[in-house]
Amino acid sequence: MYKITELALKHNRFTQVFLVMLFVLGISTFKNAPSKEDPEILIRSAVVVAQFPGMSPDRIEKFITKPLEREIKQIPEVSEIKSWSRTGVAQITVTVHDKYFNLQPIWDTLRNRMDSMKGSLPDGTIGPMVNDEFGQVYSATIALFGNGFDHHELRKTAEAIQDRLSSVQTVSQVELYGVNEERIWVNAKRGALTNEKFQFRQIVSALQARNVVLPGGVIETDTMQVEIEPTGNFNSVEEILELDLNERESGNTVYLRDLADVEVGYEDPFNTPVYFNGNKAVIIAAAMAFGSQSDEFGTKVKEFIARVERDLPVGMTLELATFQPDKVNAAVSSATTNLMQTVAVVLAVVMAFLGLRMGLIIGSIVPLTILLTVIGMSIWGVELQRMSIAAIIISLGLLVDNGIVMAEFIQSKVSHGVARVDAAISASKAMAVPLLTSSLTTILAFMPLLLAQDVTGEYLRSLSQVITIALLSSWFLCLFATPALCVWFIKPKIQGCEEGDKEPELSKLQLAYRRFVTVILNFRLSTLAVVIAIFAVSIYSFRYVTVQFMPGSERNQYLVFVDLPAGTKVEESDRVSKRLEEWLLDKKQNPDVVNMVRYVGDGGPRFFLALSPVDRAPNRVFMVVNTTDYTAALDMVQKTNQFIMEQLPEASGQAKRMWLGGSELGLVEYQVVGKDIDVIQSVAKKIELALRQIPGAVGVANDWENNVPKLILDIDQAQAIRAGVSSRDIATSLDSYLRGKEVTSFRNDEDVIPVIVGAADTEKTLEKLFTTQIVSSTNGQALPLVQFASIVAISEPAVIRRFDLERTVTISVKHESLQASELNKLMKPTLDRIELPPGYRIALGGELKGASKANGALFGYLPQCFAVMILLLLLQFNSIRRPLIILLTIPLSLIGAVSGLLITGAYFTFPAMLGIFSLAGIIINNGIVLIDCIEQNSKLGEGVRSAIISACMTRLRPIVMTTLTTILGLVPLALSGGEFWYSMSIVMIFGMIVGTLLTLGVVPVLYSLFFREPAEQEQEAKLVSA
């Protein structure tokens, strides 16, 4: 491996040009590197929807949901099936195993199986239909609104914008939200029908017979074929009004206008209205094309908006509601700034300790390594995002240490009179293998992240990739660039210090450390006993550390979820949520609110990866609120929750900050699983009651919601048969009369508008329903319902939810101050006291389930990686005892990490765990080089004790410098890096302080115990024989 160094020194022009090219190419690659806020994760879910208008939830579950679930379960790639059944509709969310990346063949199989089920479902079932774009993320949502414009004008403008935006190169898909469908309503008049002795079905038949677009055949001439197209379709609303319904018995002609009112309107009620800053709006959601860069997408979308705004009618406005590129740029800029600050501090510390010349030599290796890493990331396809930048910061400690080890070795040789070239080659021969071994062991510590078959592993995979690139780049440059720079710039000196060097202070430190090592070598067992006791206390103290899987997002926006009781009309949900909207937009009370969008009856688009849009339902409202900055968003979350609690008594709701990863921050879920609805709801209510009694618990919710009222039409079958009507006739007539029936379509120049025949709103009362003659008998006579039916009022579940083919009620909760793990600890005694019948169980969901699943996947390959790590150490030392010394020191990093978390009150998050991995790598590196140094001294004829002390003196300065540079480099990150970096910085800072101190003591003691002096062994043998 020293040939790398020989190459660099022998071909110095090549080396110089290589380093210059590395610098230039690295800077260019960094500037042009694609960037994202977070790593891209593949959403492995599709949605299956089937409808049967009017069918109750339990019948939907029995006849539609269950058969579809059983068919889906036969697809081997499927890992999870979640479903809900509401009146008239079933929705099934299908998720495949995380190890699959090519999803289209799986979705094709799902679609084929669903098509094959159509013949097995009840007649009248619509679907099932498969939506395999459920995971689409819409990076930009644009609000179109304007005072004085009706919905038709907004919709037509939005559709035109949709067509134009779809043609933008970086845009893959454009969807509209807040669009109401046009309808032509034919509202029958009860009195007119009775007076004219007309039946409801006669209007339906007349419309269907009159409005047709059918071919009339072909006439052939000698040379041509001529198509014949009969007229008959409606060309205007007036033609519909003037529809001739044939003559009565009296011979008079009856027109449709005599029996019904005809009006052009929209679906009523409007089930999914959207408001932007209180204005009725249409949201235009744009998805970024695969492979496009976020900043390029953002630039093109903003340019597009600027072009379109010039063509909009006066008073109509386009404004960004959510815009992912800005968040990406802010996140990457913040992370890059943190990295640059850390590198600057590292360089300053190195120069302060080693002097300007040596400091620049070692300091230059850090940016060169980072630039080589960026080039490697580009080749491997790793983008600049939160995790990849975190990997570089995590690697900094080892990057600095590698450079210091090589430079110190060369300087030491030169100071003893060895020629610079010879000193460089000697350093390469001595340190190449130990440094490679330490780098590979650290890479192996992070390798489970690369191998994990889990969505969290997919999220963290780039971290492992970048650490691998960074450490191998550092090792290469330490053999290639560091020796060359030392040969070119280091001044030969004999046992002296160049100007600016801090050797005198370090010499005092070495003297103090020599005395310390001498003492602990004299009291080895006592030293180990103290260390073991401290370690035991740290492990015990860890129970007092708050655990949180992932820190919260630092976006300057937050989410608001408002739920009214199931069965609430969408108009009421709109009215209630409008009060919250008006308060949020009040600049006197909430000056930090920039803008907001409110989705009524719908969850809107998935505008960031971790968001799963809420189910569409008339009693649900979803809001996105943009604020001036992140701290304002945190304050507004608390204020909004307080307002909901005090000012919206008819609703339940919660404001939530954004989160990272797949699970919502702080969310605890308890899933009650079983067959009988009454039993699982009874258990769920006990859990709800217990949660509501915990002070600070908020957002306690049962996902089955409340029961809703229902009217059962009890048909006297004997009377119905005598009247000549069937149950099907009654159900069809009622549904058409009340809900309306689409009987035909009206075609204008641009649209196809459904024509709906039904009763006027004033006719849709229970009293009029029973007295109106709306049911037709077999002899054509119109009959009132009161003749053969009565009403019975009942209640039924609003929704039936299932998880993996079992009925499941999920109780969710968050806490104002406690983390998910702490809240779950409070609930555990209550859960243990609940007695469950056989076949029923309570499962854990939410953040804790996500963390458990992720940890299981991430640590699944840890034993294999640890085994390879041990083999590497065995290969390095050809010994069992030496690797054992290093392995025994790895847990010492926990002492400082736990202390730091307890002292600062920081949470133990996943980034904190990554910090512990990094600490382990640094400790392994220190142990390998220190033991290798002891071995080198022993080969020169020194005794074990002397070799240990000499090696400790040699390695003290590099270890102390690595520790100080890493700690001081992480201080800016801890103070201003944000929530994501805080816990990791604390773990590494305290872990480096305590871990380094203990390593400098424990490794010498363990080596002294495992490799004792011959005289010591003889004395022990005498004691044993005596």
Residue 633 has pLDDT above 50, yes or no: yes
Architecture of the domain delimited by 503-544+861-1020: Up-down Bundle (1.20)
320: exposed, middle or buried (C-beta count within 10 Å: 0-12, 13-18, 19+)? Answer: middle
User: Tokens 């363990």, residue?
Assistant: 1006
Q: Which of these, 73, 89, 42, lies nearest to 81 by C-alpha position?
A: 73
pLDDT 10s digits, 147-202 = 888 888 898 899 999 999 998 888 988 999 998 888 887 877 766 655 555 666 67
pLDDT at 1014: 62
* pLDDT at 248 > cutoff 60: no
**Dihedral (Cα; 495, 499, 501, 506), 10-degree rounding:** 60
Query: Distance between CA 203 and CA 261 in Å, rounded?
Result: 12
Cis check: omega of the bond before 838, within 30 degrees of 0: no
**pLDDT given for residue 59 in this prediction:** 92
Mean residue pLDDT across the chain: 83
Q: Considering only 236-240, 444-448, 794-798, which range has the smallest mean pLDDT?
A: 236-240
Name the residue with higher pLDDT: 228 or 838.
Answer: 838
What's the pLDDT at 503?
45
Which pLDDT score is estimated for 561? 92
**Picking from 321-325, 652-656, 890-894, 944-948, which range would have the lowest pLDDT averaged per residue?**
890-894
Please determine, for residue 230, whether its predicted confidence score (pLDDT) is greater than 70.
Answer: no
Q: What does the alpha-carbon distance between residue 909 and residue 145 come to, in Å, rounded to a whole number?
A: 42
Which amino acid is residue 786, in one-letter code? V
The residues with which 446 forms a beta bridge, in sequence order, are none
Does the pLDDT of residue 919 top 60, yes or no?
yes
> Residue 55: which of 130, 127, 122 has the closest Cα?
122
Whether the pLDDT of residue 92 is over 80: the answer is: yes
The Cα 734–Cα 135 span in angstroms is 39
Cis ω before 269 (30° cut-off from 0) = yes
Of residues 550 and 383, more confidence is placed in 383
The separation between CA 380 and the C-alpha centre of its own chain, rounded to angstroms, equals 23
Phi, psi (rounded to 5 degrees) for 638: -65, -45
**Per DSSP, what are the bridge partners of residue 697?**
815
State what percent of residues in the chain have pLDDT above 70.
91
How far apart are the C-alpha atoms of 24 and 943, rounded to whole Å? 50
Which is more confidently placed, 70 or 344? 70
pLDDT score at 752: 78
What average pLDDT score do residues 658-678 get?
83
Overall average pLDDT of the 270-293 stretch: 88
Domain ranges of the chain: 182-218+227-266+708-771+779-797, 503-544+861-1020, 555-652
pLDDT in tens, 971-1020: 877 887 677 778 888 998 898 888 788 778 899 999 999 887 665 555 54
How many Cβ atoms sit within 10 Å of the Cβ of residue 980?
25
Whether pTM exceeds 0.85: no
Whole-angstrom CA distances from 252 to 190, 200, 246, 257, 259 are 20, 19, 8, 14, 14
Cα 585 versus chain centre, distance: 29
Question: Do residues 870 and 864 touch, judged by C-beta distance below 8 A?
Answer: no
pLDDT for 932 equals: 85
pLDDT at 496: 44
pLDDT of residue 760: 74
Beta bridge pairs of residue 813: 668
Euclidean distance between the first and final Cα of the chain, in Å?
A: 52
Under the phi-then-psi rule, with left for phi > 0, alpha for psi from -120 to 50, and beta for the rest, what region is 497?
beta
Q: For 663-691, what is the mean pLDDT?
A: 89
Most confident of 446-450, 575-579, 786-790, 929-933: 575-579
- For residue 278, give both structure tokens: 């209180």
State how beta strands 182-188 and 752-759 pair.
Answer: parallel
Residue 666 dihedral angles phi and psi, to the nearest 5°:
80, 0
Place of tokens 């979803």: 622
pLDDT single digits (tens) 25-75: 999 998 887 777 777 778 888 999 999 888 889 999 999 999 999 999 999
Under the banding of pLDDT at 50, 70 and 90, the label for residue 263 is confident
Q: What CA–CA distance (Å, rounded) separates 574 from 580?
A: 10
pLDDT tens digits along 724-734: 777 777 777 77
pLDDT at 665 exceeding the cut of 80: no
pLDDT value at residue 1020 = 44
Tokens representing residue 684 in the block: 């769920």
3-state secondary structure 644-689: HHHHCCCCEEEEEECECCCCCCCCEEEEEECCCHHHHHHHHHHHHH
- Report how far residue 504's alpha carbon sits from residue 957's, in angstroms, rounded to the nearest whole number: 12
d(CA 458, CA 467): 15
Distance CA 802, CA 955 (A): 62
- The predicted-structure confidence for 477-516, as pLDDT tens digits, reads as follows 999 999 999 888 887 654 444 444 444 444 677 788 888 9
Return the pLDDT at 993: 86
CATH number of this structure's domain 182-218+227-266+708-771+779-797, picked from the four choices 2.130.10.10, 3.30.1490.20, 3.30.230.10, 3.30.2090.10: 3.30.2090.10
Q: Percent of the chain, pLDDT > 90?
A: 28
The predicted pLDDT at position 499 comes to 42
Answer CATH for 555-652 from 3.40.50.970, 3.40.630.30, 1.10.3720.10, 3.30.70.1430: 3.30.70.1430
The rounded distance, in Å, linking the Cα atoms of 400 and 302 is: 42
